[in-house]
Amino acid sequence: MDDRRSLGAFLRSRRDRADPGSAGIKTSPRRRVPGLRREELAHLAGISAEYYQRLEQGRAHHPSDQILDAIAAVLVLDPTERDHLYRLARPPRPHRSQPGPTGPVRTELRRLLAAVCEPALVINDRFDVLALNEPAQLLFSRPAGTTWNMARELLLDPASRRFYLDWDETVAATATQLRAVAASYPDDAELTLLIDELTAGSDAFRAAWATGDVQVRAHGTKQLRHPDLGARTFAYENFNAAGDPRQRLVTLTLT
């Protein structure tokens, strides 16, 4: 993925979201521009409008920490968005050039997975399901040994709307997490193909992706339709897998 083009799109989306009034800019009902203009943001960040335009167009290289921090402060970016800005604005580091599909699930992690009484599964940051325990097999109606991509199923399988009762929220969360991963691993060809496939095949994903939002959620709640229990709320937790930064163990507990 082109980090410079992604940087411009991200900055524009955050500018459009910004509140001029909160930034001390007086507006009138005739103002047609949503959010902040380029020159307004540049002035508030203490940089030239010309430099900011070059940055948004992907023509400014190696912006300093001071500049990025100033822009983040004006746009009121949260910690995840600030990290995302830095990833997009800086050239790829050596480890980022290794897309590394995740390796096999370690034996010890499989043992832990089997010992969990609640539904649990191991997924990677592309939402590929790598392993799941028996309660998860029941919840997701999948036999042992099955692998699939949760993002692809969510967005391209019409039946997913019946299973994911909070479908719209899940789509938005999926898009924001894939955006964060794409910035960390821009050379991951499988990830690029997945995003292209979802963009081409799902209006909902295109709309969610166009917001420019980025977020990584480690915990929360999901509304799912259990095959035996019906509609239920699950609390989920994500645990990073030792030895593979792109794998995580996800547990789902009935609330």
**Which ranges of the chain have pLDDT less than 50?**
95-97, 99
Do both 50 and 119 map to the same domain?
no
Do both 45 and 72 map to the same domain?
yes
Give the model's pLDDT for residue 97: 44
Give the model's pLDDT for residue 4: 63
Residue 25 lies in a domain: yes
Range of the domain at 143: 107-254
Q: By the 8 A CB rule, do 51 and 43 touch?
A: no
Give percent of the chain with pLDDT exceeding 90. 63
Do both 129 and 224 map to the same domain?
yes
Do both 124 and 250 map to the same domain?
yes
Last residue of a domain, one of 51, 67, 91: 91
Do both 129 and 217 map to the same domain?
yes
**What's the predicted TM-score (pTM) here?**
0.76
- Give the mean pLDDT of the chain: 90
Residue 97 lies in a domain: no
Give the model's pLDDT for residue 154: 98
Do both 203 and 84 map to the same domain?
no
CATH number at residue 80: 1.10.260.40
Across the beta sheet with 219-226, the strand order is 129-132, 120-124, 247-254, 230-240, 219-226
pLDDT in tens, 54-77: 999 888 878 899 999 999 999 999
Return the exposure string of 176-212: e unless at least 16 CB atoms fall within 10 Å of the residue's CB, then b: bbbbbbbbbbbebeebeebbebbeeebebbeebbeeb
Give the model's pLDDT for residue 31: 82
